Amino acid sequence: MPMIPNFPSDLLEEHKRWHHEHHDIDINRPPAGYGLAFLNFHRGYIRRVLSWYGRNGYPSNLLEPWASVPEAIRMSPCYNRAAEARILYEPQSFASADELGRFIESSGIHGCIHEQAALLYRNPELNDFDLAPRHTEFYNWHGMIDRWYQNWEGLGRFRDGMAYWCGPFDSADNEVLLYRESDDTWWLGQVQSGDSINRSPVTMLEWSAIGESRAYGRFGDGRPLRVWDVDGDGKLEVVFRDPVDGSWRTGKIKDGRLQWQSIRL
């Protein structure tokens, strides 16, 4: 099922409109803000399509993210393998999500995948931003790009004062996990509706202490660390290598508490 049956016209128009609104951007030198807009728009768009797709009972495996770019595309002249290596193995080299998004575009990777996928699958619509979203392959590679984004988000960027991560940790998609370096405690922020101010609704974060990690030392010491969905249950965990014995451990929220356990990678 390369073409998704009965694809909603409003979803197709949404993607078309976003790209048309940004058609005058010099993709070789995207301006500040474009990269973050690119990543966040496509993340939200994929989620909306997947929600509709699931309600219609279509096979979800057809829209799963690629584990990696097909070799036939990677070998094409337009594909920048050095750029791919930086994205995969040096995510810490991007100072912001915006820089990552602009690099994905300016390096030509995004455009090359569209172009070469159209040739590989013999489907010219995959290289047409107005029509590509109605084909399953579009979600294979954009899901992969969103995983690149997730990999960057999962970094422990302690030097930048960013020891917090956003995503689904316990019961919602828009939670914030905070590591407080002063006492090695962990906090979970959950969105709550607050009182209105000047008739405008206010959204607030309600914080709960969920655990501590003193036995494992300071997490900002440069150890390998990621925040990732290790077990594939849709919830994020903290994964790190213990500098004392070299073992890998994961921290997962269960029953409102952050629980640590050893894992084997």
Predicted pLDDT at 194 = 57
Residue 214 is given by DSSP the state: G
Interval 56-78 mean pLDDT: 94
Task: Among 153, 184, 218, identify where a domain stops.
Answer: 153
- 85/193 same-domain check: no
- 100/223 same-domain check: no
Predicted pLDDT at 45 = 97
Secondary element (H or E) of residue 18:
helix 9-21
**Could you give phi then psi for residue 14, rounded to 5 degrees?**
-60, -45
Place of tokens 């590679």: 141
- 163/54 same-domain check: no
Predicted pLDDT at 172 = 80
115, part of any domain: yes
Interval 99-117 mean pLDDT: 97
Predicted pLDDT at 192 = 80
CA gyration radius for the chain?
Answer: 20
Buried b (16+ CB within 10 A) or exposed e, 67-81: eebeeebeeeeebbe
Task: Among 153, 182, 208, identify where a domain stops.
Answer: 153
Instruction: Give the three-class secondary structure for 70.
Output: coil
Predicted pLDDT at 193 = 66
Please determine, for residue 128, whether its predicted confidence score (pLDDT) is greater than 90: yes
CA 161, 167, 169, 173 torsion: positive or negative?
Answer: positive
Structure tokens at 210: 């969920």
Tell me the C-alpha distance between 178 and 35, whole Å.
Answer: 25
Lowest mean per-residue pLDDT among 201-205, 227-231, 242-246: 201-205
- 38/146 same-domain check: yes
| Closest to 46 (Cα-Cα) out of 131, 132, 143 | 143
pLDDT digits (tens, 9 = 90+) for 149-206: 988 888 877 766 778 888 889 988 788 999 999 999 999 999 886 554 455 565 678 9
Predicted pLDDT at 187 = 96
Give the number of domains in the chain: 2
2, part of any domain: no
Predicted pLDDT at 222 = 85
4, part of any domain: no
3, part of any domain: no
85, part of any domain: yes
Predicted pLDDT at 233 = 87
- 96/210 same-domain check: no
- 174/147 same-domain check: no
Predicted pLDDT at 202 = 58
- 91/123 same-domain check: yes
- 59/79 same-domain check: yes
- 126/174 same-domain check: no
209 beta partners: 187
Task: Among 153, 176, 198, identify where a domain stops.
Answer: 153
- 76/177 same-domain check: no
- 149/173 same-domain check: no
Predicted pLDDT at 204 = 79
**Could you give phi then psi for residue 178, rounded to 5 degrees?**
-120, 130
What's the one-letter identity of residue 14? E
Candidate ranges 166-170, 222-226, 247-251; pick with highest mean pLDDT: 247-251
Interval 111-137 mean pLDDT: 96
- 183/94 same-domain check: no
The CA dihedral of 32, 37, 43, 46, to the nearest 10 degrees, is: -130
Do the Cβ atoms of 171 and 151 come closer than 8 Å?
A: no
C-beta atoms surrounding 152 within 10 Å: 20
| Closest to 58 (Cα-Cα) out of 134, 129, 118 | 134
Tell me the C-alpha distance between 161 and 127, whole Å.
Answer: 40
Residue 83 is given by DSSP the state: H
Q: If you average pLDDT over every residue of the chain, what do you get?
A: 91
Please determine, for residue 119, whether its predicted confidence score (pLDDT) is greater than 90: yes
Interval 95-123 mean pLDDT: 96
Please determine, for residue 20, whether its predicted confidence score (pLDDT) is greater than 80: yes
Q: Which domain holds residue 171?
A: 158-263
Residue 170 is given by DSSP the state: S
